[in-house]
Structure 1
Amino acid sequence: MIDVTIENFEQEVIAASLTQPVLVDFWAPWCGPCKAIGPILEKLEVAYGGAFKLVKINSDEEQQLAGAFGIRSIPTVILLKNGQPVDGFMGALPEGKVREFLDKHVQALAPEDEEAEEAALEEPAALDPAAQLEKLQHAVATDPANDDARFDYVKALLLAGREDDARRAFEPVANKAAVVRRVDALARWLDALSFAASQPKAAELDAKIAANKRDFQARFDRARLLFAQQQWTAAMDELLEILMRDKAWNEDLARKTYIAILEVIEPPKPKVAEGQIPPDDPTVATYRRRLSSVVLS
């Protein structure tokens, strides 16, 4: 179990979740139910033999992180994979219910029944970025007109740092950026990477913003730099600063870029039982609400 702050969040949560599911426990010292769920989570981290990583975030001390995840009550537990939240629950569930939750997403290294054993054979491939990329590449090769598969493939390449390969995979759909939102999102991500490659200095941009809060170009450049660095929420925060002051700046450029980031970070909806509605991704839901409140105000 690791205590996470804003300083080590990117490394201990986002980066770590690219190779292993990360379970985030939002808690506070005064919270009674938190004291009940905490030991259960720590016990299961050991019981599952390293199938997931447990981290804890003190929501009182790390209000920025709690806000980014839209935390409204504690304890709240959120599971991340590949840099994105995929599921979560609130309250101090009993151990059996927590196991049910975990078993939907991770597999203990010592399965107790045949069904769990089969899942254990499948899970490593799902968590292996190389295997996932190969699967996506095959999907695109099999059906080149499948824009959704191509989006997932280009996104996976960019997350893996394979920019040149991503640009080649993106080229066949580049002309759809004006009419297909997901393609537009990839185009703006690639533009941000090109901008970052020009070696803009963050400190200089910060100085310009400090001197003039209405220097929207400096703010936008700062947001593109953060976008390229996959600091999604920080980039959207910067874009919100523009939108709060000028909603239509530069032909809606800030809003369009904000929407592109939301498109990029939106994870696939988790499978749920028939008739149930998949839970919204907490980060995406929070930042959609923030955009709406600014644009509609």
Structure 2
Amino acid sequence: MSLAPPSAHVFDATEANFQADVLDASFVQPVLVDLWATWCAPCKTLGPLLEKVVGEYNGAVKLAKIDCDKEQALAASFGVRSLPTVVLIREGQLVDAFTGALPESGIREFLSRHVQPGAAPDEEVVSAPAANETPEQAIARIQQAIAAQPDKPELKLDLALAQMQAGNAAAAQAELDTLPANLESDDRARRLRGQLEFARLAKDAPPAPELIARIERNAADLEARDLLGVRLLMQGDSIGGLEQFLAVLKADRSWNDGQAKKRLIAAFSVLDDADLVGTYRRKMSSLLF
């Protein structure tokens, strides 16, 4: 019986794509991994239920299916003792798992502990912006849309993003704080949260020349490296900022409760350069695993 993936949120994982499509991708959204086999009767029951429930999350979580007969080395890396085995990976690490064919309600309860359903990515709730629209004009347009469609919480996220683009960090934070739970895992909300945090840190950080001088006097000054990374990132030097965070991670991965890893993950969420983010995700993973 074929258990072919039915949607963009479900895919077959192999040794070739596991690093990029599962580990790296889990820094953007959780990835549920279904370890199954064609001869396993409970797998045939569980597989369609996993696909159905994951599909309802609209991309807030993805499902990677590993055929344990075809991908024996990959399956062995999970230490699988029985099938089906399902694990949840977030930020490159296994955070939860279960074995056996749970009912649909059990799958929902398992996922609800880790991720909230996201809004459908193709849902259009805002009229298209006019050419050369300024941030202020975008704010006015979205506020009008909210007045006309008060039951559309997605519009509040659009307004928060527009406020941030206009430089109104406090207003952006206020809108972000009112978002319902189902939008908390939205990629745009995550990016805005990261931008607000970096803006706050940069505002209170010493000037870059002072931080550089501290590092020259003491290369092990991890606080200076961390704050310099923030400064460089906010100044548009993405590589410089990421390199400082990596240097902290390499020196002491547990420093300040694992802050370097948190900084890198936050930086990945605010950067638009997919190639750059992919490169530095791999660098981070090489230091963590």
TM-score, with structure 2 as normaliser: 0.49
Give the structure with higher Rg (CA).
2
TM-score, with structure 1 as normaliser: 0.48
Larger RCO (CA within 8 A; separation ≥ 6): 1
